[in-house]
Amino acid sequence: MVKSHFSFLNFIVWFTGVVVSLVVGNAMIQKALLLPSWLGGTMTVGVVIAQVIGWIIVITTLLGVVLAIFKK
């Protein structure tokens, strides 16, 4: 049986992943991070797709944080 215990290192790794996900998602929403041109990133539809992906990243990351907090 696996015992669950709090580890500071595990928390740091989890927190770093959350911060990186939020930064990448926000950069895509703000149009600072786009798809490559060969995937249509220079076209209007490519920019919109990148923004939608950014919102998906932000929402799922925040949902994961809420679920992790309530699981404790």
pTM value?
0.82
Confidence label for 6 from pLDDT (cuts 50, 70 and 90): confident
Give the pLDDT confidence of 8-46 residue by residue, as tens digits: 888 899 999 999 999 999 999 999 998 888 888 889 999
Spatial separation of the C-alpha atoms in residues 55 and 52, rounded to whole Å: 5
